[in-house]
């Protein structure tokens, strides 16, 4: 399985018992969706390796206690400690309305209610305090903050997002 065909579910953060059980911190607002998994992909040496789950238990908050097949000792658990957990993209719950996953909007067109057509979303920059749409506007890079108040419509049928940005924001990038 390729990492780009998967989404990050969480990370194995600690051992739970001397029998190889581990606790994973899930990166989700809805951990209950993942409490009955049959398997996950564990990232080991930059490869995704399938691990089958014998038993899982949702603990406080977003922590999931896991017992994997073939992981039965503390040493086995040590070998996977700190590893990322991944699932195929088709396991993601479908979002509706103006909610979206970053990967699903790549290639969408951005249109501003005042400015008009801006360009194509080529990436999402989530390394800053506020995630940004990275837009290719005829060869020029435009960054639009992903603020709920700015996002007016997510049109999945036409692969378009309509935003309303502060006056002059887009022109900052396009004026020479």
Q: How do 6-15 and 22-26 pair as beta strands? A: antiparallel
- Beta-carbon contacts of 137 under 8 Å, excluding residues fewer than 6 positions away, are 118, 119, 170, 173, 174
Residue 137, pLDDT score: 96
pTM of the model: 0.71
Question: In terms of CATH architecture, what is 3-91?
Answer: Beta Barrel (2.40)
165 neighbors 172 (Cβ within 8 angstroms): no
**DSSP sequence for 63-107:** EEEEEETT--SHHHHHHHTT-EEEEEGGGSPPP-TT---GGGGTT
Look at residues 95, 130, 93 and name the one whose alpha carbon lies nearest to residue 7: 93
Matching CATH topology for 3-91 and 102-174?
no
Q: Where are the domains of the chain?
A: 3-91, 102-174
Question: In terms of CATH architecture, what is 102-174?
Answer: Roll (2.30)
Residue 103, pLDDT score: 86
45-52 own/partner pairs: CB under 8 Å, 24+ apart: 48/1, 48/2, 48/3, 48/6, 48/86, 50/1, 51/80
Residue 176, pLDDT score: 65
Alpha carbons 80 and 161: distance in angstroms, whole number: 40
The low-confidence residues of the chain, meaning pLDDT below 50, are none
Find residue 63's DSSP bridge partners: 25
Residue 29, pLDDT score: 81
Residue 175 CB neighbour total at 10 angstroms: 8
Residue 128, pLDDT score: 82
């Amino acid at each position: 399985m390729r990492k780009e065909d998967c989404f990050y579910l969480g990370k194995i953060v600690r051992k739970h018992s001397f029998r190889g059980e581990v606790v994973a911190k899930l990166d989700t607002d809805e951990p209950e969706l993942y409490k009955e998994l049959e398997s996950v992909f564990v990232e080991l040496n930059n490869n995704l390796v399938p691990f089958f789950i014998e038993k899982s238990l949702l603990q406080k908050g977003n922590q999931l206690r896991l017992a994997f097949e073939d992981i039965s000792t503390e040493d086995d658990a040590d070998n996977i400690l700190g590893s990322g957990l991944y699932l195929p993209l088709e396991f993601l719950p479908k979002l509706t309305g103006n909610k979206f996953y970053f990967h699903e909007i790549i290639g969408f067109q951005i249109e501003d209610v005042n400015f008009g057509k801006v360009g194509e979303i080529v990436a999402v920059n989530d390394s800053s305090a506020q995630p940004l749409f990275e837009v290719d506007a005829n060869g020029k890079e435009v960054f639009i903050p992903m603020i709920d108040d700015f996002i007016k419509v997510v049109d999945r049928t036409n692969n378009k997002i309509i935003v309303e940005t502060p006056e002059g924001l887009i022109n900052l990038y396009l004026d020479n």
